[in-house]
Structure 1
Amino acid sequence: MRLDKFLVACGIGSRTEVKLLLKKKTVRVNDSIVTSGKTQVDETADTISYQGQVLGYEQFVYYMLNKPSGVISATEDKAHKTVLDLLDDTAKKKQVFPVGRLDRDTTGLLLMTNNGALAHAMLSPKKHVDKVYEAQIAGLMTPEDVEAFEAGIVLEDFTCQPAKLAIITSDSKKETCLVHITIREGKFHQVKRMVASRGKTVVQLKRLTMGPLKLDDKLALGAYRRLTEKELEALAAFDVLL
């Protein structure tokens, strides 16, 4: 590949910034100073360094983010803080984006990557990627609600695929409960609308899992980390890491 493309992929800078860095003779290929971005390099065989530091080629990056409330699942927005604003410069230079969306007030697991093929696979109905949400409910969910979720909740504009509703705790005095809801879709406000169709209200919503990925309980709200090798292997085994 072209040297300038390699340097951009390594997060050194934009193509314009890389061009200037090359002119300053800060890049070496196999111990030789190279100033032309058009130079062809073998990213798997050549030793490429910037300011004396050897660079490793990394085409795709994967981040797990514990999304906080008040942040939108987008890469840019004029009015609100976005999930990309929470990540490091490398992620931004790699042009990562959220895989799917969480509502502004929904918290929890959000996968961020620049791997478009993986994002497509994770969101494809054909892949049957389960997503588990923890919801604090105003109102008491019932066994009848469990059956309705399994049958497929009918909304005004579409019928939901069969979903799993598990009642974790229930407080009859306060008329509240904590539930786990497993869905394979991810339509706008879907979980909230499904619960509302049964006459209850979602007070708080948090995504716990997405496919083989589980929210790291050590991640504080707004914190993030790279996926581990085990998590990447789990994605590969799930046949979505392309």
Structure 2
Amino acid sequence: MKQTIRLEKLLAHTGHGTRSEIKRMMKTGTVYVNGRSVKDGGIQVNPDQDQITVNGVGVRYREFIYLMLNKPQGVISATEDSRDRTVIDLLAAEYQTFEPFPVGRLDKDTEGLLLLTNDGKLAHNLLSPRKHVPKTYFAEVEGTVTDEDKNAFAAGVTLDDGYVTMPAKLVILRSGEPAAGEVSKIELTIMEGKFHQVKRMFQSVGKKVVFLKRISMGPLLLDEYLEAGSYRELTAEELKELQQANNTSGLS
């Protein structure tokens, strides 16, 4: 945790309002630091040592937040955009004050698991190519997905730019019959995060992904009760498992 932090930032991170609201609140003399009324939000305080109260109630500070979002289609994985709605726009103001960002990205038309946090170290470890954190997707695919595709993905396929993917695990849930208007349903676990990778992998074997949803990232599984566009904080156990994830993870 940071040794000191601006008082107004601490109050914003603990859900006491926007910066402007906090400035107005402090003028009323209801904010105390170590028993003394403070009206200057710019002073530095130590959350571990200083006693801070608002209207007589103690303030509990935390530096980081970790949110599981079930990203809906039509929303982009960015912190801001001049045209499209972003995943940050889905969050309540109390979480936006932490200035979280998406760990990695999902395409605009892709749904599913997206982690939002302001913990840069954790995000870096999860995204590092050296870590090879597995990510699993559910997809609906035009065409009949076969064991031949499974073997090809297990060996690594060549994308349209010449890049050869790492081995991936393809599970065929249902092999659709195009003549009957069916799509194949699969789960695919990859160890990388190349641009449009899942879609491009199926293109390499002559098939087209028509629906894509990420269902896991490392040990973190998408909460089946989270509706598209909804989010929640990670549980203590989920966070512990995520922090312990390392490059020993692999495909079997």
Task: Note if contact 1:25-1:34 (Cα within 8 Å) is conserved in structure 2.
Answer: yes
Q: Which segment is superposed worse, 213-222 or 41-50?
A: 41-50
Residue 201 of structure 1 corresponds to 208
Residue 169 of structure 2 corresponds to 164
Count of residues in Structure 1 that have an aligned counterpart in Structure 2: 240
Name the SS for the 2:94 alignment partner. helix
Q: Which segment is superposed worse, 203-212 or 49-58?
A: 49-58
Gaps in structure 1 of 5+ consecutive residues: none
Name the SS for the 1:207 alignment partner. strand
Task: Note if contact 2:134-2:191 (Cα within 8 Å) is conserved in structure 1.
Answer: yes
* Counterparts of residues 204-223 of structure 1 (less than 5 Å): 204-223=211-230
Task: Note if contact 2:143-2:176 (Cα within 8 Å) is conserved in structure 1.
Answer: no
Name the SS for the 2:68 alignment partner. strand
User: How far apart, in 2, do the equivalents of 1:44 and 1:215 lie?
Assistant: 33
The residue type paired with residue 168 of structure 1 is: L
- Of residues 77, 98, 101, the one that matches 2:102 is 98
Pair 211,31 (structure 1): closer, same or farther in 2 beyond 3 Å? same
User: How far apart, in 2, do the equivalents of 1:156 and 1:239 lie?
Assistant: 30
User: How far apart, in 2, do the equivalents of 1:188 and 1:29 lie?
Assistant: 49
Q: Which segment is superposed worse, 229-238 or 112-121?
A: 229-238
Task: Note if contact 2:12-2:94 (Cα within 8 Å) is conserved in structure 1.
Answer: no
Residue 71 of structure 1 corresponds to 75
Residue 226 of structure 1 corresponds to 233
Gaps in structure 2 of 5+ consecutive residues: 248-252
Task: Note if contact 2:100-2:117 (Cα within 8 Å) is conserved in structure 1.
Answer: yes
User: How far apart, in 2, do the equivalents of 1:50 and 1:188 lie?
Assistant: 47
1:37 aligns with 2:41: yes
Task: Note if contact 2:79-2:101 (Cα within 8 Å) is conserved in structure 1.
Answer: yes
1:3 Cα deviation (Å)? 2.6
Task: Note if contact 1:68-1:106 (Cα within 8 Å) is conserved in structure 2.
Answer: yes
Residue 56 of structure 2 corresponds to 52
Q: For 1:149-207, what per-residue CA distance to the aligned partner results, in whole angstroms no more than 9, with x for missing partners? A: 11111113222222111111123343521011111211211100111111111010000
Task: Note if contact 2:160-2:200 (Cα within 8 Å) is conserved in structure 1.
Answer: no
User: How far apart, in 2, do the equivalents of 1:209 and 1:82 lie?
Assistant: 21
Identical pairs, percent: 51
User: How far apart, in 2, do the equivalents of 1:60 and 1:98 lie?
Assistant: 14
Residue 62 of structure 1 corresponds to 66
Pair 67,38 (structure 1): closer, same or farther in 2 beyond 3 Å? closer
Q: For 1:85-108, what per-residue CA distance to the aligned partner results, in whole angstroms no more than 9, with x for missing partners? A: 111112211101111100111001
User: How far apart, in 1, do the equivalents of 2:197 and 2:207 lie?
Assistant: 14
Q: For 1:63-98, what per-residue CA distance to the aligned partner results, in whole angstroms no more than 9, with x for missing partners? A: 101111111111111211111111111221110111
Q: Which segment is superposed worse, 47-56 or 14-23?
A: 14-23
Task: Note if contact 2:70-2:226 (Cα within 8 Å) is conserved in structure 1.
Answer: yes
Report the TM-score, using the length of structure 2 for normalisation. 0.88
Pair 175,19 (structure 1): closer, same or farther in 2 beyond 3 Å? closer
1:130 aligns with 2:138: no
* Counterparts of residues 164-183 of structure 1 (less than 5 Å): 164-172=169-177, 173-183=180-190
User: How far apart, in 2, do the equivalents of 1:20 and 1:180 lie?
Assistant: 52
Task: Note if contact 2:67-2:117 (Cα within 8 Å) is conserved in structure 1.
Answer: yes
Name the SS for the 2:175 alignment partner. strand
The residue type paired with residue 192 of structure 1 is: K
User: How far apart, in 1, do the equivalents of 2:143 and 2:9 lie?
Assistant: 55
